[in-house]
């Protein structure tokens, strides 16, 4: 077979390295596409490496920082529920109401931010924020109830009764004398402040525990590899 010379255009046989007319070297390049077929080496057959195609898994994303926009309304709603349940005359019902509020706070957050899976640590923080809001709402509810029912002296009467009961159980005269301090105005103020601090910590911790449990239980597991 023949081919034209690149310089003068004369016909040159494919086996000839030079053009007979202008003696230009005949250098030809051929394109070669890689083959995906199996390659035979000796007596072994080497198959082409498989190409892995990632599936479109859209499961839970790795835990990141909490987003303020879905976290704030979730904590407010859960805190309001905690305050209402704690204000009901159910004795120690707040022990169950506060973890429930933390649980609901994480649930609300997951619904508002469906692409994110909060970790148990993030769930604890969500529950703690809900407990903080719940404590504020609870104090407002109690203050409104005392003003509305003219029961401003009920906390003071409850403190006095508790001190008298403690004095009745105390056999040491010196201990009963020390308890008399809490019947004075400074003692009353101290008990009120201590009670508010203790109640606030209880709201935060119990709600945080409920949030951590909720995040651990509701967290979806990725599919097996």
pLDDT digits (tens, 9 = 90+) for 10-27: 887 877 777 877 777 776
- Which residue reads 């994303």 in tokens? 61
Tell me the mean pLDDT in the region 171-186.
79
85-94, 95-104, 133-142, 208-217: lowest mean pLDDT where? 85-94
Q: What is the Cα–Cα distance from 216 to 21, expressed in whole angstroms? A: 86
Strands 44-46 and 39-41: antiparallel
Q: What is the Cα–Cα distance from 29 to 98, expressed in whole angstroms? A: 79
The whole-number pLDDT of residue 65 equals: 62
* Angle at alpha carbon of residue 199, lines to 91 and 78, rounded to 5°: 80
The whole-number pLDDT of residue 72 equals: 92
Q: What is the Cα–Cα distance from 113 to 127, expressed in whole angstroms? A: 16
Q: Which 3 state secondary structure label does DSSP give 34?
A: coil
**8 A C-beta contact, residue 82 and residue 73:** no
Tell me the mean pLDDT in the region 147-151.
64
The whole-number pLDDT of residue 190 equals: 86
- In the predicted model, is pLDDT for residue 43 greater than 50? no
> Between 197 and 180, where is the model more confident?
197
């Amino acid at each position: 077979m023949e081919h034209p010379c690149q310089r003068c255009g004369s016909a040159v046989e494919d086996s000839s390295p030079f053009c007979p007319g202008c003696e230009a070297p005949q250098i030809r390049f051929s394109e070669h596409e890689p083959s995906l077929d199996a390659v035979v080496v000796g007596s072994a057959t080497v198959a082409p490496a498989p190409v892995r195609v990632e599936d479109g898994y859209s499961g839970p994303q790795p835990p990141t920082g909490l987003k303020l926009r879905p976290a704030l309304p979730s904590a407010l709603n859960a805190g309001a529920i905690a305050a209402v349940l704690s204000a009901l005359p159910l004795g120690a019902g707040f022990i169950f109401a506060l973890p429930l509020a933390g649980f609901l706070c994480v649930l609300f957050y997951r619904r508002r931010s469906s692409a994110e899976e909060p970790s148990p640590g993030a769930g604890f923080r969500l529950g703690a924020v809900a407990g903080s809001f719940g404590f504020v709402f609870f104090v407002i509810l109690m203050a409104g109830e005392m003003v509305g029912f003219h029961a401003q002296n009920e906390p003071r009467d409850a403190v006095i009764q508790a001190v008298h009961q403690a004095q009745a159980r105390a056999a040491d005269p010196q201990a009963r004398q020390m308890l008399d301090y809490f019947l004075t105005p400074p003692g009353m103020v101290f008990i009120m402040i201590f009670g508010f601090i203790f109640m606030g910590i209880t709201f935060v911790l119990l709600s945080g525990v409920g949030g951590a449990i909720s995040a651990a239980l509701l967290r979806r597991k990725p599919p097996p590899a």
